[in-house]
Amino acid sequence: MYEYYPLIVVGAIVGVFAVVLLTAYLCVKDKKQSMGFERQMGDKEIMDRLMLYAKPYWRQFLLVGAVMLFSIAYDMISPLIIGWIEELVAGDFAMRQIYRAVAVYVAILLVSMLCSYVQAVVLQKTGQRII
């Protein structure tokens, strides 16, 4: 039972934040007119207008999408690589195997960091060009 306490605490914190944000939304939802929030266009019309501005930069968005897929793949594979390193250390191992496993992990980590940097730079530059 004790091993579930951290999970219960995190769930309670997330639940409290969800209730607070939902309550704030419900309090403001009907008061938009009195707060001066008036919007004449629907969401689809707004998105259509935004897509017209972003259309010339489809290549940049495609690049960012590919980079994001790699970042997601790294986030999924990272625990597996760490588990592989832990298994090597737990058993009878040679230092060469540990060095190789850590080198693989570091190489993938560096590529992931580079991809995150490229993603941020491309999105910022593209956003500035659109504006």
For every residue of the chain, DSSP letters joined together read -GGGHHHHHHHHHHHHHHHHHHHHHHHHHTTTTTTT----S-HHHHHHHHHHHHGGGHHHHHHHHHHHHHHHHHHHHHHHHHHHHHHHHHSS--HHHHHHHHHHHHHHHHHHHHHHHHHHHHHHHHHHHH-
> Residue 32: pLDDT band by 50, 70, 90 thresholds?
low
Mean pLDDT throughout 103-119?
A: 91
pTM: 0.58
Give percent of the chain above pLDDT 70.
91
Lowest mean pLDDT among 29-33, 37-41, 61-65: 29-33
> Residue 35: pLDDT band by 50, 70, 90 thresholds?
low
